[in-house]
Amino acid sequence: MTMKRLLVSLLILAVQSTSAQDIYNKARALLTARDTTGAVASFQDAAKAGQKLAETHYYLGAIAFARHRIDEAILSLQASLKADDEKIEAIKLLAMAFLEKKDNKNALTQLRFAAKIAPKDCEISVLYGQALVAADSNDPAIVQLTKAKECMP
């Protein structure tokens, strides 16, 4: 490959990378402007371009969850966690989606992991306690909800 072709190839890659970032930024701006339909389309384009996959899929999941499309939310949030398995906001929202479906087992699995990586997160303690109550595990639920109460201002 000649030097000229190499430079052109690098330039094309740089433009594509910037383009993917621009798509992601547009999606965030549309979400901020509460244009969820436009945001979803742009986040899907950003995902196809491979841009910030954990973030992109998280936002797709959050929008689907807000629209009460729980199965769609679960798929997007799982994709987010595939890109970054410690993305705590995605873990919490995925647990909430599982709780919405009355899938206590999967909710508890997510929340146990979340509690290990963010032990001082009050919201995790609350969600974990709620999931334990839903699973009829009252004694562990009391422990988690007490922990949540202690960490709240």
**Rounded distance between C-alpha atoms, residue 38 and residue 8, angstroms:** 32
- Model-level pTM? 0.80
Q: What is the pLDDT of residues 29-40, one digit of tens each?
A: 888 889 999 999
Q: Report the chain's mean pLDDT, rounded to a whole number.
A: 85
The pLDDT, as a whole number, for residue 83 is 94
Give the torsion through C-alpha atoms of 4, 10, 14, 15, to 10 deg: 50
Nearest partner of 131 among 61, 67, 123, 68, judged by Cα = 123
Say if residues 110 and 118 touch (Cβ distance below 8 Å).
no
pLDDT above 60 for 153: yes
